[in-house]
Amino acid sequence: MNEPEAVVEEIALEDVAPLRGPLPEGGRRRARRSIPRGAFRPSRRSVLGGVATAGFGLGMAALGVFPAARQARADDDYYRIKRLPCPSYAAGHDCSPGCGPSQVCAGCCRTSGPRKGFHHSSVSKPNHKLRPDRCFGGWADGWLWRFGARCGTCRNSRTYRCHDGWRRTSRSSPYYRTICRWTTACR
């Protein structure tokens, strides 16, 4: 078996088109595809990389690897009050202490400013915290409670706003549940 001879062709240097510089005689400039200015055309590699990264992130989130993000809360969200009737856990209480099962704490109430009559927070008084979304099915931060008989200086009825929170006696002691009880109506 005879193998065919390899054909070797040489290209003259003059026949090689230059990458830069003036256009050779008789040469044509190749038209480029025009892409409008400001238009972004991602490459196939970057698109596939983005899809792979997004898939990985979603997969890890579905497996519970990342903690769930909490939505930022507006300041007023900590002061949502459930209107009357009062919650069932406070229904059997009398004029005093009223409100519910946690300890009523007069010193836990703000006495001035725009949050007058609400529980102190760690911002307004040391060793105090709010308990957001802890009452009435997890959506309210406090509730209205009414006693329908003589109550202190109120002859016919008294309505309290009960706003719950936490308090501790010192930095080294544990927090315990407290309620700021504030009179909103006295008849």
Query: Rg (Cα) of the chain, in Å, rounded?
Result: 38
Consecutive H or E run containing 181: strand 176-186
Report pLDDT for 75: 45
The predicted pLDDT at position 67 comes to 62
pLDDT tens, residue order, the chain (187 aa): 566 676 667 778 777 766 777 776 777 766 666 666 666 677 888 888 888 888 887 877 777 666 655 444 444 556 777 776 666 666 667 777 777 778 899 899 999 988 899 999 988 999 999 888 766 666 778 888 888 889 889 999 988 888 889 999 999 999 999 999 999 999 9
Instruction: Give the number of C-alpha atoms closer than 13 A to the C-alpha of residue 63, restricted to the C-beta side.
Output: 7
3-state secondary structure of 183: strand
Using alpha carbons, list the distances in angstroms from residue 130 to 11, 85, 141, 165, 178. Answer: 85, 23, 8, 4, 9
Region label for 184, one of left (φ > 0), alpha (ψ between -120 and 50) or beta (otherwise):
alpha
pLDDT of residue 86: 62
Nearest of 109, 122, 132 to residue 183 by alpha carbon: 109
Q: For residues 71 and 65, what is the distance between their CA atoms, to the nearest angstrom? A: 18
CA angle 169, 173, 175 (to 5 degrees): 75
Separation CA 126–CA 134 (nearest Å): 21
User: SS3 for 154?
Assistant: strand
* pLDDT score for 37: 66
Strands 176-186 and 158-167: antiparallel
Question: What pLDDT sits at residue 71?
Answer: 44
Q: How far apart are CA 187 and CA 174, in angstroms?
A: 39
Per-residue pLDDT at 109: 94
CA distance 86 to 91: 7
Residue-level pLDDT at 46: 83
Looking at the chain, how many residues does it have? 187
Give domain limits for the chain. 75-186
Helix (H) or strand (E) holding 143: strand 142-147
Q: State residue 9's pLDDT score.
A: 75
Which of 125, 128, 127, 114 lies closest to 79, judged by CA?
114
